[in-house]
Amino acid sequence: MNFIGTIKLVIRTLLARKGRSFLTILGIVIGVAGVIIIIALGAGAQSLVLGQVTKLGTNLLNVQPGKSNEKGPPSQAFGIVVTTLTKEDADALKDQSRVPHASGVMGSVQGSDTVVWQNKDTDVAYQGVQSTYTNIVSLTMEQGRFIDEKEDRGAANVIVIGSQVRDELFGSDINPIGQVVKIKSVPFEVIGVVAKRGSFMFQNQDKQAYIPLSIAQKQLLGINYLQAIIIKVDSTDNVDQTISDVTQVLSERHRIKRAEDEDFTVRNIADAIKIFTTVTDALRLFLIAMASIALLVGGIGILNIMMVTVAERTREIGLRKAVGATNRAVRNQFLFESGFLTLLGGVAGIIIGAVVSYLVALGARFAGLDWAFVISWWSVFLAVGVSIITGVIFGIYPALKASKLNPIDALRYE
């Protein structure tokens, strides 16, 4: 039988057993769709983070309290409170004679609470920052201005709010500038509204508020340490030198003589993203392995179904061999059937995976995230290739068994 004839026979056979064929390919569909979705979501998440870091800049250093190794996060990332950084440390790093390539240095703390104005309130994430914040992070003010040096040093009760906070508290009819809001019964005068910024690192920047560092420490959080020091380097070429300078200044201030005794971590934000990418890649590989189990289950299902099919069609096989069908023709028919089933499952899985991935990307964009919809060709080839290979491998034994049937014994089979 020629190739076209074999394909036609395979299609007629599968259509005659629609329910069984559907159940056979279901495991393949789930496995392939899972691979496509996992790879697409991983690529989308990485593009989101990397794109946001590119916008922020790769010449930023983040000094965190607590020591960590080069490949792991600092202790603070695990919820451990470390109090080794102070505002005086941040001020010391502003010394241009010691850290000449630092174009901006800022101590920072953060928290979350409810902002109240008259009978309205809204939840915000607030940051205690210094006036140098605008030297480090590019901000566009929609109304008013940002915290100045006098308000920073004098610990003035002023606040700059995000555009969504403004909308939820004051609407479009009331000018927020000069209004007094409260956080934990502490009054703050609104001096500025930041223009819409969207989301960064999965956090809505338009639901944030900015207040002087000392106020956030003493009146809202009740602490006297910093949670981070952010440093902007004048050029990416000077990042390594600045890390060395910062390490030396802080080691002297903390009386640290050996590197292993350091109670702080200086990280290039770009390096932190590399760690994030490494972790997400490892997670994706693990999830792909889990999704591949569905392909294995689907392959076992194909083996079982094909074995049953061979048993059901024993007389048919005997009749075909009696009228001249060769062992090779019978074997190829059953191999084509198993391969065709997995191909159908692979194509259906790709379509389902692509649709689900697109809907996730659409939802993320609707939520304000810069999420890329990415379906890589290698993931498609991987999914389809593995599914076809699975079908062929698990179809070999039933096909060989069918081809080796004795036509006389097959015709007598009941």
Give the pLDDT of residue 97: 92
Of 24-38, 57-71, 360-374, 382-396, the range with the lowest mean pLDDT is 382-396
pLDDT of residue 245 exceeding 90, the answer is yes
As to burial, measured by CB atoms within 10 angstroms (0-12 exposed, 13-18 middle, 19+ buried), residue 139 is: middle
Of 159-168, 252-261, 359-368, the range with the lowest mean pLDDT is 359-368
As to burial, measured by CB atoms within 10 angstroms (0-12 exposed, 13-18 middle, 19+ buried), residue 366 is: exposed
Better-predicted residue by pLDDT, 47 or 246: 246
CA-CA distance, 359 to 116, in Å (whole number)? Answer: 36
Give the pLDDT of residue 366: 81
136-152 average pLDDT score:
91
pLDDT of residue 303 exceeding 60, the answer is yes
Give the pLDDT of residue 253: 93
Of 118-132, 146-160, 179-193, 337-351, the range with the lowest mean pLDDT is 337-351
Give the pLDDT of residue 310: 66
23-46 average pLDDT score:
77
42-46 average pLDDT score:
76
Contact 154, 136 (CB under 8 A): no
42-49 average pLDDT score:
74
pLDDT of residue 8 exceeding 70, the answer is no
268-295 average pLDDT score:
69
pLDDT of residue 103 exceeding 60, the answer is yes
pLDDT of residue 56 exceeding 70, the answer is no
Of 6-15, 56-65, 97-106, 134-143, the range with the lowest mean pLDDT is 6-15
| Residue of 306, 396, 342 lying closest to 25 (CA atoms) | 342
pLDDT of residue 382 exceeding 80, the answer is no
The packing angle between helices 327-366 and 314-322, to 10°, is 130
Of 84-93, 208-217, 261-270, 338-347, the range with the lowest mean pLDDT is 338-347
Of 33-37, 38-42, 54-58, 142-146, the range with the lowest mean pLDDT is 54-58
Give the pLDDT of residue 378: 72
Would you list the domain boundaries of the chain?
3-53+278-411, 104-229
Share of the chain above pLDDT 90, in %: 32
**pTM assigned to the model:** 0.62
**Residue 121 — very low, low, confident or very high, per pLDDT cuts 50/70/90?**
very high
Give the pLDDT of residue 168: 94
CA-CA distance, 194 to 211, in Å (whole number)? Answer: 13
Most confident of 73-77, 85-89, 283-287: 85-89
**Residue 285 — very low, low, confident or very high, per pLDDT cuts 50/70/90?**
confident
pLDDT digits (tens, 9 = 90+) for 176-221: 999 999 999 999 999 999 998 876 666 788 899 999 999 999 999 9
3-class secondary structure for the chain? CCHHHHHHHHHHHHHCCHHHHHHHHHHHHHHHHHHHHHHHHHHHHHHHHHHHHHHHCCCEEEEEECCCCCCCCCHHHHCCCCCCCCHHHHHHHCCCCCCCCEEEEEEEEEEEEEEEECCEEEEEEEEEECCCHHHHCCCCEEEECCCCHHHHHCCCCEEEEEHHHHHHHHCCCCCCCCCEEEECCEEEEEEEEECCCCEECCEEHHHEEEEEHHHHHHHHHCCCCCCEEEEEECCHHHHHHHHHHHHHHHHHHCCCCCHHHCCEEEEEHHHHHHHHHHHHHHHHHHHHHHHHHHHHHHHHHHHHHHHHHHHHCHHHHHHHHHCCCCHHHHHHHHHHHHHHHHHHHHHHHHHHHHHHHHHHHHHHHHCCCCCCCCCCHHHHHHHHHHHHHHHHHHHHHHHHHHHCCCHHHHHCCC
Neighbouring C-beta atoms of residue 153, cutoff 10 Å: 12
Give the pLDDT of residue 64: 87
Of 31-40, 74-83, 405-414, the range with the lowest mean pLDDT is 405-414
pLDDT of residue 234 exceeding 90, the answer is no
pLDDT of residue 410 exceeding 70, the answer is no
Give the pLDDT of residue 2: 58
Residue corresponding to tokens 């390490």: 247
pLDDT digits (tens, 9 = 90+) for 153-166: 888 999 999 999 99
Better-predicted residue by pLDDT, 189 or 261: 189
CA-CA distance, 131 to 158, in Å (whole number)? Answer: 12
CA-CA distance, 26 to 38, in Å (whole number)? Answer: 18
**Paired strand residues for 199:** 204
